[in-house]
A and B are shown apart, each in its own frame.
Chain A
């Protein structure tokens, strides 16, 4: 199974047509796939809170948005999630590279990983953790759930899900 293609196929099938991204090595394939799809307008952001602003505007303009980012962004975007996305009740699937989990080679990434789920829980953000490749099967249902309830929803995808980092 090509996970990158499966994720973007599900986005398209759920009418997600506006995607903003902040780069990540693990998510590079998904970002490339997003860029290549005619059904999706891809707009890279310089920072994740900026991206959430773009998504809020796109949603009010009638598009279904999504953001692709690293878990470190949770530390950057708490105010935006609380006072924009949640306060105005907007849907936002957040496809998140869960750095600092099993098979992570960079120690500093663990420092935000240990806070990630606690912060999402504190914000009452529905959170799903993809650890095995088969977990991606739930992605379609998660997207439907997100646009049903008009909430930000986090999909944490760790290194094991992506097949590790090779020989680092």
Chain B
């Protein structure tokens, strides 16, 4: 499965919850599949999906899912020790690990070579790290959200992209409607 197929499959699981979605194609795909006010689309700032989602989870009680990519996590590896050492049960980090920088043309990442983000997350002190194959993600994600413990999911999948338009929503609109959803 490629990322867009995974997102299509897990969209009903994500739908009721606050989701912070990674820059580029992941946000564009989620926007196309199930645009709603509970989604925060990153239009810039590669690497910070996990940090933004984690700050949100620390600031309030609702479940938060950060959708990140292997390339983006590699950009901001310092995030994993911070998350591990300040764990909060309402937070789930979903790393869609296709071993490539999808939005820029599927150049390979080191996560697709020798580096295991699962092992890195564990070494950083994250206690619930689950590596899962794309087709098995749904139930794992659902139980991570339902659980009182923070979970890091590394979902291994194929690289590949679909053609779709950029998000034209104004960033302040994305932020405003998201904050209203947080308060609701």
Contact = CB atoms under 8 A, between A and B. Distances in A.
Contact of B183 (A54, A62, A88): A62
Interface in A40-66: 41, 43-47, 49-63, 65
B51 A54 contact: yes
Q: How large is the interface on A (under 10, 10 to 19, 20 to 34, 35 or more residues)?
A: 20 to 34
Given A87-B171, A88-B175, A89-B175, A60 B47 contact: no
Interface stretch (A77-85, A95-103, A134-142, A160-168): A77-85
Contact of B54 (A52, A54, A79, A83): A54
A46 B86 CA distance: 13
B52 interface: yes
A83 B45 contact: yes
Interface of B: 20, 40, 42-45, 47-48, 50-60, 76, 78-79, 81-82, 86, 171-172, 174-175, 178-179, 182-183
Contact of B59 (A47, A49, A62, A90): A62
Given A43-B82, A63-B59, A80 B182 contact: no
Contact of A56 (B47, B55, B60, B86): B55
- The list of the 6 closest CB pairs from A to B, nearest first, reads A57-B55, A61-B59, A83-B44, A53-B51, A46-B78, A53-B48
A18 interface: yes
15 contacts: A18-B58, A18-B59, A43-B86, A49-B47, A50-B79, A53-B50, A54-B55, A56-B48, A57-B55, A57-B57, A57-B59, A61-B57, A62-B60, A83-B43, A84-B45
Nearest to A84: B45
Given A60-B178, A90-B175, A80 B56 contact: no
Contacts of B44: 79, 82-84, 87
Contacts of A44: 82
Contacts of B40: 60
Given A54-B55, A84-B52, 19 more contacts: A44-B82, A46-B81, A49-B47, A50-B48, A50-B51, A53-B54, A54-B58, A56-B52, A57-B54, A57-B56, A58-B59, A59-B55, A60-B55, A60-B178, A61-B57, A62-B179, A80-B45, A83-B45, A84-B44
